[in-house]
Amino acid sequence: MGSATDPFIYANFLSSLDGRIALEDRAQNIPSYIPKHITTVSDFKLFMELHAQADCLITHGGYMRALSEKRLGNILQVKSNELIEWRRNHGLKPQPAVIIASANLDFPIHPSLHTHQQDCFIATGENADAERIRYWQDKNFKILRAGEEKMVQGAALIQQLKKLKYKSIYLIAGPRMLDTMIREKQLSRLYLTMTHQLIGGLDFRTLLTGPRLADEGNMKLKSLYYEQGSPTGSGQFFMNFDLH
Ligand SMILES: NC(=O)c1ccc[n+]([C@@H]2O[C@H](COP(=O)([O-])OP(=O)(O)OC[C@H]3O[C@@H](n4cnc5c(N)ncnc54)[C@H](OP(=O)(O)O)[C@@H]3O)[C@@H](O)[C@H]2O)c1
């Protein structure tokens, strides 16, 4: 995969044929969620295998809030003994380091990070609230300043992670972090599973959030695998694309 001077940064998304990665219901105040019927065993297996190959995960404050409210399950650790063994055989620590990107810096830390002795950094912009920064520093968290305003920017963040010598960086965040990585040409590979289902929905999320892209969004198909009959009555493409 990557090297300390040229880390490999990858992301993995599941999308419906109509381009939805999550649904929500703004009128009823239902936060966004991935509909269960688009997920499959092989899609989750791919997620876990990519997760197991990372020496560093990038997540965000929103996920930490969702985790503490039990709205989402815990994906901060590699769970399977077989995959932990695989990591040991490939010179990786049992568990990856975790970067929490946040602009508002208001989230709880999940106790599993401490239990598994994972290195943990908080990434934020230069203009983030000074009091919140002090709050985290007083708790001995290391802060990565990576962005001119409050938001983290892709290139500045990857620069910091290079200094920390991470080589295989898995972005487990959503469309906003993907946007900043793609816009600043920091993503090496996109894994995209496309379920052959149209799911509709009035309110939905798609892969990216920001303004129109130029050639930063151009990708080269590296592989395409067609799985028939999964989900039942449908199928899915497993694609992966190389960037730049
Ligand atoms: N289908 C799929 O494959 C897939 C994959 C990922 C996510 N999703 C779904 O998509 C929906 C939205 O995803 P999400 O909540 O992960 O995404 P998001 O809207 O991209 O990110 C939410 C949080 O991330 C932090 N953040 C994002 N970009 C940042 C930046 N540049 N700098 C600093 N902080 C940044 C912010 O935290 P603070 O508020 O703490 O500042 C923000 O609240 C969810 O329902 C999720 O389950 C689907």
Write the CATH number of the domain with boundaries 8-242. 3.40.430.10
* pLDDT tens-digit series, residues 97-145: 999 999 999 999 999 999 999 999 999 999 999 999 999 999 999 999 9
pLDDT, residue 3, reads: 75
Residue 69 scores a pLDDT above 90: yes
Structure tokens, 222: 């590296």
Q: From the CA of 101, how far away is ligand 1's center (Å)?
A: 9
Report the side by side order of strands in the sheet with 30-33. 30-33, 22-25, 203-205
Distance CA 226, CA 243 (A): 22
pLDDT at 1 over 80: no
Residue of 127, 177, 207, 208 to test ligand 1 pocket, by largest number of atoms within 8 Å of CB:
177
pLDDT (0 to 100) of residue 241: 98
Selection from 4, 3, 21 nearest residue 190 by Cα: 21
- Considering the chain, what is the average pLDDT of its residues? 96
Residue 34 tokens read as: 């991935």
pLDDT for 2 beyond 90: no
> Residue 120: enclosing H or E segment and its boundaries?
strand 120-124
- Give the domain ranges of the chain: 8-242
Ligand 1 pocket: which of 24, 67, 205 to mutate (most atoms <8 Å of CB)? 205
Residues whose CB is less than 8 angstroms from the CB of residue 28 and which lie 6 or more positions away in sequence, other chains included: none
